[in-house]
Chains A and B, each alone.
Chain A
Amino acid sequence: GNSVTQMEGPVTLSEEAFLTINCTYTATGYPSLFWYVQYPGEGLQLLLKATKADDKGSNKGFEATYRKETTSFHLEKGSVQVSDSAVYFCALRFSQGGSEKLVFGKGTKLTVNP
C-alpha cells in the first residue's frame, strides 16, 4: 500500500544547529511528496513539495529532495531558529480509483532552544 514513515522524535536542538528529519515512503505509481508544518494550536501549513523524482522543494531555508532510488524525502535546514519549533509532517499524495488521497507520517515534534 501507500504509506509514509518518518522519525517520530521528539527532536530537541539548539539555535543555529543543523536539522534533518527523515522521511521514507512506500508507494505505487508516481506520488507527490509534501512537508507540512503545524505550529501549536494551529492548522497545517504547506512547507514545501516535490512532484517528481529528483525535484527539490525549498522554502524558508528548509529543503527536501525527492529520491526515488531510496524512496526518501528527508527535510533539512542548515540553521534552525526558535521560531521553527513545531510539528513537521511528511505526506504522500497518490491516486486511487480515480480519486487522490493524502496520507501523513506520524509527525515529528521539533523544539529549538535559544
Chain B
Amino acid sequence: DTEVTQTPKHLVMGMTNKKSLKCEQHMGHRAMYWYKQKAKKPPELMFVYSYEKLSINESVPSRFSPECPNSSLLNLHLHALQPEDSALYLCASSLREGQGVGDTQYFGPGTRLTVL
C-alpha cells in the first residue's frame, strides 16, 4: 500500500482566516514533504520533515507553518494568506530522507486551496 491521504480535498478561506491542511501515511515512512503547485506548473518544494524534525524550509513565508506531531501525520497551518497563495498543496512521503538514499516519494491527491 503506497497511499498518502490528504484532507480536505478543497478549501476556500478568507485572508483573515486560520485553517490547517492534514496529511497522513501509514507506510512507516520517516520523511514527509509539503509541495505547492500552481496551475500548469510543476510542484515546488516547501518543507521537508525527517524523523519528525524540520530539515528543509525553502524560504517559505511565515504565514505557512508546518507541524509534524508524529511519524504518520503532517499538518500545514495557514494564517493570513494572500490570494496568490491559491494553489494545489501536495503532501508526499518517503521511507527515509538523507544523503544518497534515493528513496521514492509517494504523493497524496492534494488539497486545492482558494484564498479570497
Pairwise interchain contact B45-A102, C-beta atoms closer than 8 A:
yes
Whether B24 is near chain A, meaning CB under 8 Å from some CB there, is: no
By a CB distance below 8 angstroms, the chain B residues around A104 are: 42-43
Whether A51 is near chain B, meaning CB under 8 Å from some CB there, is: yes
By a CB distance below 8 angstroms, the chain B residues around A45 are: 107
The answer, among B90, B98, B102, for a CB contact under 8 Å with A99, is B98
Nearest CB of chain B from residue A86's CB, rounded to whole Å: 13
- Listed stretches B14-22, B48-56, B59-67, B70-78; interface member: B48-56
Pairwise interchain contact B43-A44, C-beta atoms closer than 8 A:
yes
Pairwise interchain contact B97-A99, C-beta atoms closer than 8 A:
yes
Closest to A109 in B: B40
By a CB distance below 8 angstroms, the chain B residues around A49 are: 104
Task: Tell me whether A100 and B42 are in contact in the complex, defined as CB-CB below 8 angstroms, given that A42-B110, A45-B107, A46-B106 are known contacts.
Answer: no
Pairwise interchain contact A100-B108, C-beta atoms closer than 8 A:
no
Pairwise interchain contact B42-A105, C-beta atoms closer than 8 A:
yes
Pairwise interchain contact B56-A106, C-beta atoms closer than 8 A:
no
The answer, among A43, A101, A106, A107, for a CB contact under 8 Å with B90, is A43
Q: How far is the CA of A46 from the CA of B55 in the complex (A)?
A: 24
Pairwise interchain contact A99-B56, C-beta atoms closer than 8 A:
yes
Within 8 A of A (CB), among B62-116: 88, 90, 92, 97-110
Residues of A bordering B, CB below 8 Å: 32, 34, 36, 42-46, 49, 51, 89, 93, 95, 98-102, 104-107
What 3 A-B pairs have minimum CB-CB distances, sorted nearest first?
Answer: A104-B42, A44-B107, A43-B109
Residues of B bordering A, CB below 8 Å: 2, 6, 33, 40-43, 45, 48, 50, 55-56, 88, 90, 92, 97-110
